[in-house]
Amino acid sequence: PGSQSQLAVALLSMCVGLQALPPPRRVDHELDTMVNLAKNILHDTKIAFRQFKLKFPSEGEHRLETLPVLSGSASDLGAIQVTNALSKIDSDLRSYEEHFEWLKKAEVISKAPLEQSITKIHSKTQNLANHIEHLMNRHNIPKSNFSPPQLPPQHATHWSAVHAGHAIFHHFKLFMDWTVRALVVLQNKH
């Protein structure tokens, strides 16, 4: 009887001790998926951009006024809010989808072996945008008003398509780097 009561007291104290522990952290698998997908897109973008630069070398800084403006820096990420981050990522992803769609159709690019890489990035970008949209719906975050960019005509000159391609890849690489970091911060906050 003495050992049974000691066992009962030991079991009871374990139960009481377990109640004092914080509840296990809820893992948001959707954020994990989005972080991994964003990292994968960033990796694919770096490879495709290298291929693009080899196929179409061009010196200097390339600008395209229709690209989204990257707001914020790595130092601002600590204060990032779910609503603002997801809205920004959502609207910018949709803009980049339009830019990549335009780039795929540009005559000089469609004749190059880069179309497959661009299609792969475009497809993964759409997938990430769908995940972002789902998470926004789950958190009741309204979609931002997105107006498609006014892109150059499809039959742009060789140089303007190459120039635009450099700008799109460069800016998208920076955006995806920021997106990965922002999603990791959001993941760590949950």
Domain presence at residue 145: yes
Under 8 Å CB-to-CB from 55, ≥6 apart: which residues?
Answer: 112, 113, 114
**What element of type H or E holds 108?**
helix 107-110
Domain presence at residue 119: yes
Classify residue 68 as left (phi > 0), alpha (psi -120 to 50) or beta: beta
Instruction: Say what the pLDDT of residue 156 is.
Output: 65
Instruction: Say what the pLDDT of residue 128 is.
Output: 96
What residue type is assigned to position 108 of the chain?
A: V
Domain presence at residue 164: yes
Instruction: Say what the pLDDT of residue 6 is.
Output: 64
**Cα gap 80→86, rounded to integer Å:** 10
**Cα gap 168→99, rounded to integer Å:** 7
C-beta pairs of 28-35 under 8 Å, 24+ apart in sequence: 28/187, 28/190, 30/131, 30/134, 30/135, 30/138, 31/135, 31/183, 31/186, 31/187, 31/190, 32/187, 33/131, 34/128, 34/131, 34/132, 34/135, 34/183, 35/180, 35/183, 35/184, 35/187
Local confidence pLDDT in tens for the 190 residues of the chain: 555 666 555 555 555 555 555 444 444 688 899 999 999 999 999 999 999 999 888 876 778 888 998 876 667 777 788 888 899 999 999 999 999 888 888 877 766 678 788 889 999 999 999 999 999 998 898 887 777 788 776 666 777 888 888 999 999 999 999 999 999 998 888 7
Instruction: Say what the pLDDT of residue 24 is.
Output: 44
Domain presence at residue 101: yes
Instruction: Say what the pLDDT of residue 112 is.
Output: 67
What is the pTM (predicted TM-score) of this model?
Answer: 0.80
Among residues 39, 161, 149, the alpha carbon closest in space to that of 106 is found at: 161
Domain presence at residue 106: yes
Q: What's the CATH code of the domain at 131?
A: 1.20.1250.10
Structural domain that includes position 121:
26-57+76-189
What tens digit of pLDDT does each residue of 103-128 get? 888 877 766 678 788 889 999 999 99
DSSP reduced 3-state for 22: coil
Instruction: Say what the pLDDT of residue 79 is.
Output: 76
Domain tally for the chain?
1
Instruction: Say what the pLDDT of residue 40 is.
Output: 98
DSSP reduced 3-state for 176: helix
Widest Cα–Cα separation across the chain: 93
Domain presence at residue 30: yes
